[in-house]
Amino acid sequence: MSKTITEQNLRLLVDALLKEGGRVVAPKLAETMTLYEPLATGQELDLTKLPRRSSKETFFPLCETILTFERDEAGVRVGDVDPASFPETVLLGARPCDAAAPSILDAVFSWDYNDEFYLERRRKTTIIGLACTTADDACFCTAVGLSPADTRGSDLFLTPLEGGGYACQAVTDKGKELMEKQAQFFSDAGSEKPLAPAEPAGEPLDLGKIKSWLDGNFENPLWTKIADLCVGCGACAFLCPACHCFDISDEGTEAKGCRRKHWDACGFGKFTNHASGHNPRDVQPQRYRNRIMHKFKYYDDKFGRTLCTGCGRCIRWCPVGIDIAAILQQVEAKVEVE
Ligand code: SF4
Ligand code: SF4
């Protein structure tokens, strides 16, 4: 099912969804940067820039309370947060590198334990993807098997048109239902031409070759060389659409408090610190090695997927300029040499 939608009608669609009581998360200018955030009105929608952080927080917030507790003379009362109360959500304007990530993450959030905080949000979210027509020198989605016009992970997919507005393609039944329910905002497709998709630089990486090198090189001097600069700030993991490690901590006092789930990062020195004080990854190269191994070997071994969509955020914002695409090219070149 293919239709078109004007810029103005896209904003009116947001207003209509909000009026029905749903939540619409989309790129908006939030003070100094564009972020995926809940909109209060369609006028806030800003599809011109790639948001600084990925859209994973739509399903997996930076920090959330998962229970509360209170103790007095009468005893202890525990209040569970009920995921059934989460609102129906439309994630609008997700770039292909962001839209593809949740379907990669579904495997880990429903593997040995069903994380209902994540899964209920996934069930209740319709993803409207947006084709990219510009790329910067950090983007490398095409090198990891995606593309600026990739519809994977989207329920509906928007492609900007030359004269303004968007071509709108229903990718899943969920997307088709949204389009049918809100039919007044869509028109039949005419002769409008789509804008050309962006062309990220860089040749496709041979992820199979890279993985086979990783399989045999847990110990290699390369890890020290590439991670020498890493300051363990965790920015790469926090900005990434596919990184998903979290910690759980209790906050408050013995009398009253809450249990919170919050993002964590394998780059942090204390990430694997044991209660005994022993840390199996006690130096930064071991932590950076884990980042690469997890994305390009362990996740593939366990779930058959690569944990990177080539969004380039970790390259753009690493304070010391570590470039994961360059590291992968280096590993691929080593395979050729060895
Ligand atoms: S953003 Fe850069 S310095 Fe910070 S943890 Fe990641 S690789 Fe290390
Ligand atoms: S590892 Fe870097 S380039 Fe790959 S998805 Fe994460 S932030 Fe984007």
Pocket test for ligand 2, best of 104, 142, 239, 311 (most atoms within 8 A of CB): 311
Q: In whole angstroms, what is the distance from residue 35 CA to residue 51 CA?
A: 5
Distance CA 51, CA 76 (A): 43
Work out the pLDDT band at 336, boundaries 50, 70, 90. Answer: low
- Residue to mutate (ligand 1; options 223, 224, 230; most atoms within 8 A of CB): 230
For 291, the 3-state DSSP assignment is helix
Q: Which residue from 50, 139, 314, 331 has its CB within 8 A of the most atoms of ligand 2, so it is best to mutate?
A: 314
Residue from 241, 237, 235, 238 nearest 55 by CA: 241
CA-240 nearest atom, ligand 2 = 7
User: Two tokens at 249?
Assistant: 């901590």
| For the CA of 324, the nearest ligand | 2
42-88 per-position pLDDT tens digit: 999 999 999 999 999 999 999 999 999 999 999 999 999 999 999 99
Structure tokens, 315 = 């390259």
* pLDDT, tens only, 25-43: 999 999 899 999 999 999 9
Averaged pLDDT of the chain: 95
Ligand 2 proximal residues by C-beta, below 6 Å: 239-242, 295, 308-314, 324
Ligand lying nearest the CA atom of residue 100: 2
Given a cut of 70, is residue 337 above it in pLDDT?
no
Residue 242, helix vs strand vs coil: coil
Query: From atom 2 of ligand 2, which residue's Cα is the shortest distance away?
Result: 314
Residue whose CA lies nearest to ligand 2 atom number 1: 308
pLDDT tens digits for 285-318? Answer: 999 999 999 999 999 999 999 999 999 999 999 9
Q: How many angstroms separate the CA atoms of 200 and 184, rounded?
A: 36
- Strand, coil or helix: what is 273? coil
Task: Give the whole-number percent of the chain exceeding pLDDT 70.
Answer: 99
CA of 319 to the centre of ligand 1 (A): 7
Evaluate: CB of 231 within 6 angstroms of ligand 1.
Answer: yes
Per-residue pLDDT tens digits for 98-152: 999 999 999 999 999 999 999 999 999 999 999 999 999 999 999 999 999 999 9
**How many angstroms is it from 299 CA to the middle of ligand 2?**
14
Per-residue pLDDT of 168-197, as tens digits, reads 999 999 999 999 999 999 999 888 899 999
Band the pLDDT of 261: cuts 50, 70, 90. very high
Instruction: Give CA torsion, residues 237, 241, 246, 251, to 10 deg.
Output: 100
Interatomic CA distance for residues 188 and 3, integer angstroms: 5
pLDDT at residue 156 is higher than 80: yes
Work out the pLDDT band at 338, boundaries 50, 70, 90.
low
Radius of gyration of the chain (CA): 22
Question: How many angstroms separate the CA atoms of 10 and 25, rounded?
Answer: 13
Which residue has its alpha carbon closest to ligand 2 atom 7?
A: 240
* β-pair partners for 168: 3, 158
Distance 240 CA to ligand 1 centre (A): 12
| 8 A C-beta contact, residue 22 and residue 183 | no
